[in-house]
Structure 1
Amino acid sequence: MSTDPKHGAVQRDATSQEIYDAGMAVRREVLGDAHVDRANANKDEFTDDFQDMITRIAWGGIWTRPGIDRRMRSAVTITAMVAHGHWEELAMHIRAALTNGLSRDEIKEILLQTAIYCGVPSANTAFKTAQGVFAELDRAARQPE
């Protein structure tokens, strides 16, 4: 078997398909089926290679590694999104961080940390982004099913 059952990590001798499959599984667990289904539905000849690459390399090669847990990976990813000003990706990864077990208070602390190391203007936008994500989630939670 090419995945480590204890950690879910893809081993170095995994086939490209096994890495892709493991990446797709983690991607779905972290981002949710709806997000991944939308991304796959929007694939075309131009974007197919990119979607394949991020599934294999980011999700199958990095997010499956055993060295740090998904909570820590989410914290690092949020910081990177703030540092580079990737606001749509930040919103997506704030949702993912909640899925991965970070609390809103922990996300707030991460964003406060980014104010010092990434700059106050970036953190200001990050707080507005997180506030919007939380408001959207709260509205959805209040909706009757």
Structure 2
Amino acid sequence: MKVRREVLGDAHVDRAAPDEFTADFQEFITKYAWGEVWTRPGLDRRMRSAITLTALIARGHWEEFALHVKAAVRNGLSTEEIKEVLLQSAIYCGVPAANHAFAVARRVLREET
């Protein structure tokens, strides 16, 4: 939970507080995504954020993409680095997906600054 809060922020984690229906799923992602994968020593959080942005673009998960743009900034990626991730993603994920990613990221980054 510590890593999840550090990456996503307390406000998001508090909004995602589990209820009876979602408790098992929230425990699952906290344990495996945040407790097992995000804490592995092989990649730093900056790299994990860059990879996550690309994966979310590829799958079209725009709400989570916006959340992870904020997380990428929290993890130390600059606006310029996020732009480069999106440009790189255009080649492998498609121009329409990257176009939408730029629009979402621009909105999020403006809100953050």
* Bigger-Rg structure (1/2): 1
Moved over 2 A (4+): none
Q: Percent identity?
A: 68
User: What CA deviation, in whole Å up to 9, does each residue of 1:49-75 have, x standing for no partner?
Assistant: 110000000000100100000000000
Say which structure is richer in helix.
2
Unaligned runs of 5+ in 1: 1-23, 139-145
User: What CA deviation, in whole Å up to 9, does each residue of 1:93-130 have, x standing for no partner?
Assistant: 00000000000000000000010000000000100000
Unaligned runs of 5+ in 2: none
- Displacement of 1:137 in angstroms is 1.5
**Distance in 2 of aligned mates of 1:31 and 1:134:** 15
- Determine whether 1:101 maps to 2:81: no
- Determine whether 1:61 maps to 2:36: yes
Count of matched residue positions in the alignment of Structure 1 and Structure 2: 113
Paired position in structure 2 for 1:32: 9
RMSD (CA atoms): 0.6
User: What CA deviation, in whole Å up to 9, does each residue of 1:4-63 have, x standing for no partner?
Assistant: xxxxxxxxxxxxxxxxxxxx00001111111111111xx221111110000000000100
**Distance in 2 of aligned mates of 1:35 and 1:109:** 26
